[in-house]
């Protein structure tokens, strides 16, 4: 990647949680840049702090110390209202448990987000991108887990977000459907050029990334640039 | 305390908002029950104690004049156990501090000793001393309205002579629990009072020495009242008997009995609505609690707790909530009951007002509410405990949505996703949505019923006292007089116009049905009495025949063209046959009208009149009042504006209180329902709401989706509530309809707006409470878990 521009620039980010009477140090002085258009995988065991990092990037949480820049906006200074606007305008989320609205069909779940976006794509187009063009009018309860997750991806990208943040997107899926979800993510990354960060504890997924960021105990322990990216269908776990 | 009880306590604390909302509804229901039932019981008990202790008579008769010696033949009528003859006359009174004249009903009591029947309860002062000519005991309502005490004097014209009457005592009588002047059916304590005077003083003053014109009887148990009345009428006929009647036609008793009957009805309906709503709320709150605690239930079962132990644990939740509502509800009800008893005391006068509730009934109602709550709880618990633990430990399957009607007819593209979510959620939970909607509709209906009382009273006043009765004052002469009286009346100061009328006491008979009534002969060209049909269109008085009010025609079962037998109860007592010429509508009492000249002709008399309707120049009113107090020929006078004011004063006060209570109760229902239904939605869909927040929806936007459901329910409930309310008002108008009053079904736009407004406000406030909770959604935690 030539002269890539940093979408996120974070510096010295530390996050403490108070869990009952115990203070948990989830992140401990993390420095990281995420670049435009890259597909990054954040790899780490559970409890390593990777979800906390993703939440801070996505504006769901603020660091205890350190600074988070989205281009030149300092997110660590944002209040709740500004964070909501930031999420609304720039971030697409995909969660482990899809979090679809059960009372809305596939198309409507996607349209729900399209309606509050400034320059969205057509909801049906987003669903076509994840190969669900034929399931537009199904309710979540009528779809498999993999299909639900692809709707969630379509919902995340319909607003043409600058970044797509995925928290264990295949965590609840079997390998076959998991691979289809990963294909969808890769397709989005390649066709739309959306900066994509996927967190997982599944090391197999790392080989399809541009860059692998390993996290352990609240610190980044390794950054690895993949010279060749594997195709999702060649993955196995 | 067992661990389960500790869990119960913490659950209660956690769900305190909802528990309080349910308890409040229970509180309202029970206090409504206790208040209304207490009032009902108190009236029943006070009435019967009063009647028996003060020997209230059972049969009454008025007549022109009969010698005291007639009593032996009356006492000989089989079934008569006691009888009391009296002298009763109405006189004009000059009350200190009262500009206008008042009417006093002078009732004789024995010069010494207690009256045999219709005894007095002396409240102040003393009884009359033998030989004191001008001493009177006055009724308490009249004394209080005019601030009269023993020692004060009243001026009165007694049989043409101006007299001073010395008040020596203030008393109550079972005959006058409510005091209503003759010729009207509205209480007016300021301008009408009962005065008891010794028989020895009244006899000579009214030329009734050794004679009587009023009679009361008591009957042996098992006696046929109608039989005695018929015999009594025959005995009294030669003496100008006006027709005997039983307690059911005695005006004061009639009012009181109607009131008791109404209390019985309303005391059942309102509390039932509240308890129904409370049971429903307990059911939905507990169902939700149990869904959320599926895991815990499974765990408890896995540990070896029995299904019944777990069931009882949740049942206790319901019982605590019911108990928390029923205890203060009972206390509040007793307090409100005493408040209402105080109001009743100003309207209905009892020597002792027994505030009483039947404890067995109270226990029954509390038991019913517990049982109902238990049922609501059990339905929810059964589902949870019937699951095998392993299955129960898995999260509940996701909500299932399938294409519905809107999708099938392709309407969805016209509806925003937020609205679609609302509609589909409601569609999925139809029973819950339906009950919530119905409950809110009941709140609207209760408010509307409260307003209806006001509207109908105002309507009644407008129609009866502005359209039908247009005179400023009505004079009643001592005896029927020639038409020359008209000119004397015209000469009174300030009198602008005079329309004389004739009032002939008669018994109207058709087949075996008969009614005693005063036939009013009025001028067909008169302007001070306007007859109306049921659509309030003026009806012209035909020159021949009787015009009856609908209630009278219905009770005799006659229609225009039918021939009535009219037994005149005065003078030569002719029995006439007169056709029914028309039916009219009035809201107060029952009446029969006839052309004055035709009535005179039937009576074989000249142009005789019994009284006159007057209009009076307001500027000369004081002179008119002063003068009229001293006109010997006048037995009574009634002023329209005072009647209206007296009516408003007595009725309005009790209405304001009951309406205020209804507003609070209805608001509690609306609040309780909307709050609970929103809290449960929030609990069921907190996950969904948090997801939306993560996707960039603002708090405002998710509040709109969540509360939109409640708003939708509330708005849909409004028209339903108006329909139910309208039906309730109709029921009320039927239930309250007596021969004395009819409350037509009228509702003003203001009342509709008010009922809707209060409900919307209560719903809005509960929405705000839930809205605050949206601030505290934990976005991250919610995404970590799957429900």
Residue of B668, B167, B189, B165 lying closest to B446 (CA atoms): B668
Q: What is the pLDDT of residue B395?
A: 56
Q: Which of residues 159-188 of A touch B (CB under 8 A)?
A: 167, 172
Handedness of CA A201, A203, A208, A214 (dihedral sign): positive
Give yes or no for a contact between B121 and B351, defined as CB atoms under 8 angstroms apart.
yes
Q: Which of B40-54, B72-86, B251-265 has the lowest mean pLDDT?
A: B251-265
Phi and psi, residue B565, nearest 5°: -90, 125
- Is B417's CB within 8 Å of A60's CB? no
pLDDT band at B31 (very low <50, low <70, confident <90, very high): confident
Q: pLDDT higher for B230 or B277?
A: B230
Mean pLDDT of chain B: 85
Q: What is the pLDDT of residue B308?
A: 79
Q: Is B172 helix (H, G, I), strand (E, B) or coil?
A: strand
Contacts of B326 (CB under 8 A, 6+ apart): B26, B27, B30, B366, B369
Our measurement of the distance from residue B258's CA atom to the centroid of its chain's CA atoms, rounded to an integer in Å, reads 9
Determine the distance in angstroms separating the CA of A175 from the nearest CA of chain B, rounded to an integer: 20
Phi and psi, residue B34, nearest 5°: -65, -45
Instruction: List pLDDT tens digits, range B175-184.
Output: 999 888 876 7
Q: What is the pLDDT of residue B654?
A: 65
Task: Indicate if the pLDDT at residue A113 is higher than 90.
Answer: no
Whole-angstrom distance, CA of residue B482 vs CA of residue B478:
12
pLDDT band at B317 (very low <50, low <70, confident <90, very high): confident
Instruction: List pLDDT tens digits, range B372-381.
Output: 777 777 777 7
Q: What is the pLDDT of residue A2?
A: 46
Q: What is the pLDDT of residue B787?
A: 44
Q: What is the pLDDT of residue A66?
A: 93
Q: What is the mean pLDDT of residues B30-49?
A: 85
CB-CB neighbors (< 8 A) of B779 in chain A:
60
Determine the distance in angstroms separating the CA of A2 from the nearest CA of chain B, rounded to an integer: 32
Q: Which of A22-26, B370-374, B401-405, B673-677 has the lowest mean pLDDT?
A: B401-405
Chain B CA closest to residue A56: B780
- Which residue reads 């119905």 in tokens? B438
Task: Indicate if the pLDDT at residue B262 is higher than 90.
Answer: no
- Is A103's CB within 8 Å of B785's CB? no
Instruction: List pLDDT tens digits, range B382-409.
Output: 776 776 666 666 655 556 666 666 666 6
- β pairing state of B135-139 and B153-158: unpaired
Give yes or no for a contact between B614 and B642, defined as CB atoms under 8 angstroms apart.
no
CATH number of A36-55+89-234: 3.90.1150.10, 3.40.50.300, 3.40.640.10, 3.90.180.10? 3.40.50.300
- Is A102's CB within 8 Å of B412's CB? no
- β pairing state of B135-139 and B161-172: parallel
Instruction: List pLDDT tens digits, range B498-516.
Output: 999 999 999 999 998 989 8
DSSP, residue by residue, A73-85: EEGGG--HHHHHH
Determine the distance in angstroms separating the CA of A114 from the nearest CA of chain B, rounded to an integer: 11
CB-CB neighbors (< 8 A) of A141 in chain B:
398-402
Task: Indicate if the pLDDT at residue B478 is higher than 70.
Answer: yes
Q: What is the pLDDT of residue A1?
A: 43
The shortest CB-CB distance from A113 to any of B402, B695, B786 is to: B695
ipTM here: 0.72
B575, two tokens: 């029995």
Q: pLDDT higher for B738 or B240?
A: B240
Instruction: List pLDDT tens digits, range A161-188.
Output: 999 999 888 888 888 888 988 998 998 8
Q: What is the mean pLDDT of residues A3-26?
A: 85
- Is B403's CB within 8 Å of A137's CB? yes
On whether any CB of chain B is under 8 Å from the CB of A104, the answer is: yes
pLDDT band at B698 (very low <50, low <70, confident <90, very high): confident
Instruction: List pLDDT tens digits, range B733-750.
Output: 887 777 777 878 888 999
Determine the distance in angstroms separating the CA of B774 from the nearest CA of chain A, rounded to an integer: 13
Q: What is the pLDDT of residue B402?
A: 66
Q: What is the pLDDT of residue B497?
A: 92
What is the C-alpha R_g of chain B?
A: 34
Whole-angstrom distance, CA of residue A166 vs CA of residue A197:
6
Q: What is the pLDDT of residue B387?
A: 67
- Is B416's CB within 8 Å of A115's CB? yes
pLDDT band at B94 (very low <50, low <70, confident <90, very high): very high
Cα–Cα distance list, B400 to A103, B403, B419, B684 (Å): 8, 10, 18, 13
Q: Other C-beta atoms within 10 Å of A46: how many?
A: 8
Instruction: List pLDDT tens digits, range B401-451.
Output: 666 666 666 666 667 777 788 888 888 778 878 888 888 898 898 888 888
Chain A CA closest to residue B689: A101
Q: Where are the alpha helices (DSSP H) in A118-174?
A: 123-129, 145-157
Model confidence pTM above 0.90: no
CB-CB neighbors (< 8 A) of B777 in chain A:
none
Chain B CA closest to residue A92: B695
Whole-angstrom distance, CA of residue B736 vs CA of residue B581:
29
Instruction: List pLDDT tens digits, range A30-89.
Output: 999 999 999 999 999 888 888 889 989 988 888 999 999 999 999 988 888 888 889 888
Q: Which of residues 408-447 of B touch A (CB under 8 A)?
A: 412, 416-418, 420-421, 424-425, 428
On whether any CB of chain B is under 8 Å from the CB of A15, the answer is: no
Q: Where are the alpha helices (DSSP H) in B80-161?
A: 140-145
Contacts of B2 (CB under 8 A, 6+ apart): none
Q: How many CA atoms lie within 13 A of B726 on its CB side?
A: 11
Cα–Cα distance list, B576 to B508, B542, B547, B563, B665 (Å): 10, 18, 15, 10, 56
Number of A–B residue contacts, CB under 8 Å: 92
């Amino acid at each position: 990647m030539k002269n890539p521009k940093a979408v996120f620039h974070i510096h010295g980010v530390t996050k403490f949680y108070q869990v009952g009477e115990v203070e948990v140090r989830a992140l401990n002085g993390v420095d990281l840049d995420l670049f435009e258009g890259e597909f990054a995988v954040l790899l780490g065991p559970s409890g390593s702090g990777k979800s906390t990092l993703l939440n801070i990037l996505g504006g769901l949480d603020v660091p205890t110390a350190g600074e988070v820049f989205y281009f030149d906006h300092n997110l660590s200074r944002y209040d709740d209202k500004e964070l909501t606007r930031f999420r609304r305008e720039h971030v697409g989320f995909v969660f482990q448990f899809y979090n679809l609205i059960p009372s809305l069909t596939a198309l409507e779940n996607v349209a729900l987000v399209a309606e509050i976006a400034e320059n969205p794509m057509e909801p049906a187009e987003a669903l076509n991108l994840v190969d669900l063009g034929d399931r537009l009018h199904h309710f979540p309860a009528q779809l498999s887990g993999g299909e639900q997750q692809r709707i969630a991806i379509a919902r995340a990208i319909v607003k043409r977000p600058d970044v797509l943040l995925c928290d264990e997107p295949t965590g609840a899926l079997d390998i076959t459907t998991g691979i289809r979800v990963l294909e969808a993510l890769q397709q989005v990354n390649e066709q739309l050029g959306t900066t994509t960060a996927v967190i997982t504890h599944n090391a197999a997924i790392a080989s399809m990334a541009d860059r692998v960021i390993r996290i352990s105990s609240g610190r980044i322990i390794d950054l690895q640039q993949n010279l060749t990216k594997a195709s999702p269908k060649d993955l196995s776990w | 305390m067992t661990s389960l009880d500790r869990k119960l306590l913490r659950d209660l604390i956690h769900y305190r908002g909802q528990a309080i909302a349910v308890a409040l509804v229970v509180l309202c229901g029970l206090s409504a029950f206790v208040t209304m039932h207490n009032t009902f019981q108190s009236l029943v008990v006070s009435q019967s104690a009063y009647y028996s202790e003060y020997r209230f008579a059972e049969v009454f008769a008025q007549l022109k004049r009969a010698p005291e010696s007639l009593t032996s033949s009356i006492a000989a009528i089989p079934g008569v156990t006691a009888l009391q003859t009296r002298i009763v006359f109405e006189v004009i009174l000059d009350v200190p501090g009262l500009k206008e004249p008042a009417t006093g009903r002078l009732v004789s009591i024995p010069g010494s000793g207690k009256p045999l029947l219709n005894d007095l309860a002396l409240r102040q002062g003393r009884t009359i001393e033998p030989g004191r000519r001008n001493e009177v005991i006055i009724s308490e309502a009249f004394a209080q309205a005019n601030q009269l005490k023993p020692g004060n004097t009243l001026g009165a014209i007694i049989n043409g002579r101006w007299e001073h009457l010395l008040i020596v005592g203030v008393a109550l009588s079972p005959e006058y629990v409510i005091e209503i002047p003759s010729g009207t059916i509205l209480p007016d304590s300021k301008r009408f009072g009962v005065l008891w005077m010794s028989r020895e003083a009244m006899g000579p003053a009214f030329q009734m020495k050794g004679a009587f014109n009023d009679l009361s009887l008591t009957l042996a148990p098992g006696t046929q009242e109608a039989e005695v009345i018929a015999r009594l009428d025959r005995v009294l006929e030669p003496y100008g008997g006006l027709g005997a009647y039983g307690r059911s036609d005695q005006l004061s008793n009639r009012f009181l009995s109607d009131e008791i009957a109404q209390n019985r009805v309303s005391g059942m309906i309102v509390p039932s609505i509240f308890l129904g709503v409370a049971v429903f709320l307990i059911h939905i709150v507990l169902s939700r609690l149990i869904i959320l605690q599926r895991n815990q239930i499974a765990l408890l079962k896995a540990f070896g707790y029995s299904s019944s132990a777990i069931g009882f644990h949740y049942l206790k939740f319901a019982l605590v909530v019911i108990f928390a509502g029923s205890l203060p509800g009972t206390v509040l009800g007793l307090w409100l009951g005493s408040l209402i008893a105080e109001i009743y005391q100003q309207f209905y006068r009892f020597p002792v007002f027994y505030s009483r509730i039947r404890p067995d009934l109270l226990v029954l109602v509390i038991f019913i509410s517990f049982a109902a709550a238990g049922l609501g709880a059990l339905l929810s618990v059964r589902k949870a405990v019937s699951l095998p633990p392993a299955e129960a430990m898995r999260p509940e399957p996701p909500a299932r949505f399938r294409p519905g009607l809107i999708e099938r007819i392709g309407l969805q593209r016209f509806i925003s996703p937020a609205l679609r979510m609302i509609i589909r959620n409601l569609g999925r939970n139809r029973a819950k949505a339906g009950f919530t909607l119905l409950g809110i509709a009941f709140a609207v209906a209760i408010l509307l019923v409260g307003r209806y009382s006001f509207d109908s009273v105002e309507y009644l006043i407008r129609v009866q006292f502005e359209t039908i009765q247009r005179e400023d004052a009505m004079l009643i002469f001592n005896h029927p007089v020639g038409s020359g009286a008209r000119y004397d009346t015209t000469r009174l100061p300030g009198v602008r116009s005079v329309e004389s009328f004739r009032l002939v006491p008669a018994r109207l008979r058709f087949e075996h049905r008969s009614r005693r009534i005063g036939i009013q002969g009025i001028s067909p060209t008169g302007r001070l009495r306007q007859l109306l049909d049921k659509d309030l269109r003026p009806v012209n008085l035909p020159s021949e025949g009787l015009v009856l009010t609908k209630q009278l025609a219905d009770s005799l079962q006659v229609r225009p063209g039918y021939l009535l037998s009219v037994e005149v109860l005065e003078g030569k007592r002719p029995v006439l046959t007169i056709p029914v010429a028309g039916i009219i509508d009035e809201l107060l009492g029952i009446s029969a009208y006839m052309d004055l000249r035709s009535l005179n002709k039937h009576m074989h008399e000249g142009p005789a009149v019994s009284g006159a309707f007057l209009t009076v120049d307001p500027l000369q009113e004081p002179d008119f009042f002063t003068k009229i107090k001293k006109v010997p020929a006048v037995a009574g006078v009634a002023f329209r504006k005072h009647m209206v004011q007296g009516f408003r004063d007595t009725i309005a006060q009790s209405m304001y209180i009951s309406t205020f209570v209804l507003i609070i109760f209805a608001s509690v229902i609306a609040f309780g329902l909307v709050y609970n239904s929103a809290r449960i939605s929030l609990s069921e869909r907190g996950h969904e709401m948090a997801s939306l927040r993560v996707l960039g929806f603002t708090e405002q936007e998710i509040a709109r989706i969540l509360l939109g459901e409640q708003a939708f329910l509330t708005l849909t409930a409004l028209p339903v509530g108006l329909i139910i309310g309208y039906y309730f008002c109709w029921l009320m108008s039927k239930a309250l309809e007596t021969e004395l009053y009819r409350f037509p079904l009228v509702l003003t736009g203001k009342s509709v707006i008010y009922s809707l407004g209060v409900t919307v406000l209560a719903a809005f406030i509960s929405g705000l409470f839930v809205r605050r909770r949206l601030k505290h959604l934990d976005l991250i935690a919610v995404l970590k878990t799957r429900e």
